Chain A
Amino acid sequence: AQTVTQSQPEMSVQEAETVTLSCTYDTSESNYYLFWYKQPPSRQMILVIRQEAYKQQNATENRFSVNFQKAAKSFSLKISDSQLGDTAMYFCAFMKQGSLRDMRFGAGTRLTVKP
């Protein structure tokens, strides 16, 4: 079974600074997808960024980028130039390729951006 671990329950960062959220996962699969979702106080789940495991290049999306280390099974999220609107819960998620099953989510990291 796949498991996703987020070891930082809470983090804070000053506005405009950079923060990195950690995620590790455990799987025997070789083809899969990894995601970071943001859940603001509104509780909506919003996709931030995704990474295909077969791609060596790290995904980037504006101020968000990942450091994907397949051998180490690590998938960290870097937020540059943090903004107050980035304050949210961040969930790392794993999905096996070709499966009709769900994504597996980590426990989440609560990020607070301070003015």
Chain B
Amino acid sequence: EPEVTQTPSHQVTQMGQEVILRCVPISNHLYFYWYRQILGQKVEFLVSFYNNEISEKSEIFDDQFSVERPDGSNFTLKIRSTKLEDSAMYFCASIAGPPGTSENNEQFFGPGTRLTVL
């Protein structure tokens, strides 16, 4: 069964450093998402991406964050200057077709990257 993969599984970084979290969505999927989950809290939307551009983003997704699909398979989330409060689990997800349609509305989630900012 196809699956979304994410690397690394755990990233430790110093405050102020840049990190890039990588995701490989399912190959025929067209819509991509990043979510984060601070330990013990709910899953929060960061950004959605379609047709090589950001579709929507939340208030969390400020200028320190960026996303890219550099090569047609990877989907990356970059945090330019990490803060302590960026420590969280980051999930990538993808959907095959337009979200909200009855046939393709399941988001497939990756296993997550645990980011620890020291």
Interface residues of A (CB under 8 A from B): 31-33, 37, 42-47, 50, 52, 91, 93, 95-108
Identify the interface centre among A47, A101, A106: most chain B CB within 10 Å of its CB. A101
- Least Cβ–Cβ distance between A92 and chain B, in angstroms: 10
Contact in complex: B89, A43 (CB < 8 Å) = yes
- Other A-B contacts than A47-B106, A102-B45, A106-B42, 7 sampled, CB-CB below 8 A, are A33-B105, A42-B111, A95-B99, A96-B100, A98-B100, A101-B99, A105-B43
- Verify A107–B41 contact, CB threshold 8 A: yes
Given A100-B50, A100-B55, decide whether A95 and B100 contact each other with a Cβ distance below 8 A. yes
B105 partner residues in chain A, CB cutoff 8 A: 33, 50, 95
Q: Mark B82-96, 1 if CB is under 8 A from A, else 0.
A: 000000010101000
Q: Which residue of B lies closest to A107 (CB)?
A: B42
CB neighbours (8 Å) of B100 from chain A are 31-33, 95-99
Report the separation of the CA atoms of residues A47 and B100 in the bound assembly, to the nearest whole angstrom: 15
For residue B56, CB closer than 8 A to chain A, the reply is yes
Q: Would you give the shortest CB distance from B41 to chain A, in whole angstroms?
A: 7
- B34 → A minimal CB distance (Å): 9
A50, A91, A96, A97: the one within 8 Å of B42 (CB): A91
Chain B residues positioned under 8 Å from A93 (CB to CB)? 43
In order of increasing CB-CB distance, the 4 nearest A-B pairs are A102-B45, A45-B109, A97-B100, A100-B55
24 residue pairs from A and B, CB less than 8 Å apart = A31-B100, A42-B111, A43-B89, A45-B91, A45-B93, A45-B109, A46-B109, A47-B106, A47-B107, A91-B43, A95-B100, A97-B101, A98-B101, A100-B31, A100-B50, A100-B56, A100-B98, A100-B99, A101-B55, A101-B56, A102-B35, A102-B45, A104-B45, A108-B42
